[in-house]
Structure 1
Amino acid sequence: MKLISADASPFARKCRILIHEAGLGDRVEVVSLTTTPINTDPQVASANPAGKLPALLRDSGPALYDSRVITRYLDEISGAGLYPQARIWEVLTLEATADAMMDAAVLMVYEHRVRPADKVDEGWIEAQWAKITRSLNALDARWMSHLSGPLDMAQIAVATALTYLDFRHADRSWRDTRPDLAAWHSKFCERDSMVATAPK
């Protein structure tokens, strides 16, 4: 199998972390490339008609895309148990929260990257950050006990989202008013899978 990835993509990184945690490194080749919404790499377009990363090329069957589809599939074939049935709805909800944060954070980046400077909509950017702020507050207020529990995909997704905020939006200083969440993230980032996949 091949994972079509990009080093800076948080969605692709989430899959790479799972590959590491699930011991699938010898079964999944990671193919890193560069693509943008306005200049889509042909390999990406071939694997995913929406032109988004990541995509998983399987030895048999069509390509899989959307990071949550890929992580569920890789967890299933590896038996890693990162989607435990006993708390599946909490895991899926928390993963969706993390993905929404990443989506908003990526949109903030593209607002500056693909628009002329005089067309950048600061109101749009702040609206995306408001989504992230509400999500951070929810994590801090409601989800710390889950994050501190046994490893699952929700924790991987949240840690990936928080690292992306550090990577692209460090000036927003999300840690300053959320010491418990910040401490959890710092500890989680010591995992081998996080170190091995850290954005450059």
Structure 2
Amino acid sequence: MKLHWSPRSPFVRKVMIVLHETGQLPEVELVPNTVALHLPPDPEVLAANPLGKIPALVTEGGTVLFDSRVICEYLDLRSGTGLFPAQTEARIDQLRWQALGDGLTDILLLWRTELTREAGPWTAVTDGWRAKVRAAMARLEAEADALAAGPSGIGQVAVICALGQLDFRWPDCAWRAHFPQLARAEAVWAAWESVKATAVAGDGAGPDAVTAGQLTFGP
């Protein structure tokens, strides 16, 4: 298999965690690609995925899968690991947490890109994103005990990647101080070998100058 990949993409990280958890990483060739909303589409990625996005996985049979949700479920089915449970209630919980984690990640990515516009960000839009991020984090805090209990699955993986994006691109938001139950759960997840192996590395330059001061929690 071949994975169109970037070390800084939270959705690629989601697939990488699943590859680690399912023991399939040795079967995958990683193909580095640079993809961003403000850049022209990468020709190699566009040839594989008409949406021009990563991750995109080329299976052994030559089929190209795109969208991390599709790729992760394929890898789970292929391995029989159970990150997507068969039992209805457990499966819906995992899919709901995946949707919340992925949606939070989407907002954070779009927001950061909006902040880099030469004309300046559209305040009405960024104010809306701020409210949605706060609401999403509050919901995750309320469900942190449920997320931390029981078998882990794709829901926890998606939330891990969203929180990783907060740490990487919004490092001054101090989310752990405001969401202690979620912080406790995240500390456990951070010890997973798959999570440590896929950590997004910063450049050592300190807080992101683009996002600094843009996101706060609490009153």
Same fold (TM over 0.5): yes
CA-to-aligned-CA distance 1:72-113 (integer Å, 9 cap, x gap): 000000111111122111110110000000000000111123
Given that 2:144 and 2:182 are in contact with CA atoms closer than 8 Å, whether structure 1 keeps it comes out as no
Q: Distance in 2 between matches of 1:80 and 1:20?
A: 11
Letter of the 2:19 counterpart: I
Q: Mapping of 1:31-50 within 5 angstroms?
A: 31-37=31-37, 38-50=39-51
What percent of counterpart residues are identical? 37
Q: Distance in 2 between matches of 1:147 and 1:10?
A: 21
Letter of the 1:111 counterpart: E
TM-score, length basis structure 1? 0.93
CA-to-aligned-CA distance 1:9-46 (integer Å, 9 cap, x gap): 10110000000010001211222221222322111111
Aligned to 1:155: 156
Q: Distance in 2 between matches of 1:128 and 1:164?
A: 15
1:119 CA displacement:
2.9
Letter of the 1:171 counterpart: D
Q: Mapping of 1:57-72 within 5 angstroms?
A: 57-72=58-73
- Partner SS, residue 151 of structure 1: coil
1:175 CA displacement:
1.6
Given that 1:3 and 1:31 are in contact with CA atoms closer than 8 Å, whether structure 2 keeps it comes out as yes
TM-score, length basis structure 2? 0.86
Does 2:91 align with 1:97? no
- Which of the two has greater helix per residue? 1
Given that 1:97 and 1:135 are in contact with CA atoms closer than 8 Å, whether structure 2 keeps it comes out as yes
- Partner SS, residue 172 of structure 1: coil
Q: Distance in 2 between matches of 1:92 and 1:29?
A: 27
Given that 1:10 and 1:160 are in contact with CA atoms closer than 8 Å, whether structure 2 keeps it comes out as yes
Question: Number of matched residues?
Answer: 198
The CA RMSD over aligned residues, in Å, is 1.4
Given that 1:148 and 1:184 are in contact with CA atoms closer than 8 Å, whether structure 2 keeps it comes out as no
1:61 CA displacement:
4.0
Point out where structure 1 has 5 or more consecutive residues left out of the alignment: none
Letter of the 2:36 counterpart: T
Where does structure 1 differ by over 6 angstroms across 4 or more consecutive aligned residues?
A: none
